[in-house]
Amino acid sequence: VNKKVERHISADDISEMDRVFRLRLINTVSGYKSASLIGTSDDRGNTNLATFNSVVHIGSNPPLIGFIVRPSTVPRHTLSNILDTGNYTINLISEAITEQSHCCSANFEKGVSEFKACGLTEWYDQSIASPYVAESPVKLGMTFKEKIDIKSNGTCLIVGEVEEIYFTDDFLTAEGDVDLGKARAVAISGLNHYHRVSKLSTYPYARVDGLPEFDRKDK
């Protein structure tokens, strides 16, 4: 077993780091993230689309999904639209739209729709007023449930309930999994690396009395 430490970074090192170096380090060190576009509109129907890598499962019954919004030091259009209208869409980013999706993170003026500026297509359904991304293979219609302020750094966790799900193709397996590989959904590392994902393995539900025999070196 290789227990060698090649490099150690202390809390002091982190606080003294160049801002962008630290941002890259802390954004990549917690591993690969999901890649989503969140679609909203304001109360006048102006549409907005933004890139998010913090979409996370909260619970399945009721079906809750959350994401983190950065501090309100600048206007956050996604957040203000959600608080105004109470709904939004989450659209998984696929290999075919990584560049367009990345461009949606640019700081556009409120009146400018990222859909038009970044070459993506608005798509609507009856029950959710917010725009979906037509090109996205897996789309969720969400209703806003709660905003949890994170005191440590001024960010907040937005929790929403899944109202409906759209697949552009047969991505749902008989067991209930979404086949993200078939959908060609990508993963993000840091804030600007997009990864094609290939599945390594699938295991049954882990039970203490049904584990394989591991070769434990510390016995």
Ligand X SMILES: Cc1cc2nc3c(=O)[nH]c(=O)nc-3n(C[C@H](O)[C@H](O)[C@H](O)COP(=O)(O)O)c2cc1C
With binding defined as CB under 6 A, does residue 102 bind ligand X? yes
Q: How far is the CB of 144 from ligand X (least distance, A)?
A: 14
Q: Which is nearer to ligand X, 22 or 76 (CB)?
A: 76
Q: Which is nearer to ligand X, 179 or 195 (CB)?
A: 195
- Is residue 52 involved in binding ligand X (CB under 6 A)? yes
| Sole window of 18-26, 45-53, 56-64, 198-206 interacting with ligand X (rule: CB under 6 A) | 45-53
Q: Which of 1, 22, 20 is nearest to 11 (CA)?
A: 22
Q: Closest CB to ligand X among 115 and 171?
A: 115
Q: What are phi and psi of 44, to 5 degrees?
A: -100, 0
Considering only 61-69, 121-129, 166-174, 195-203, which stretch makes contact with ligand X by CB under 6 A?
A: 61-69
Nearer to ligand X, 64 or 191 (CB): 191
Q: Is 101 helix (H, G, I), strand (E, B) or coil?
A: helix
Q: Tell me the DSSP string of 176-211.
A: S-B-TTTTTB-EEETTTEEE--------PPP-GGG-
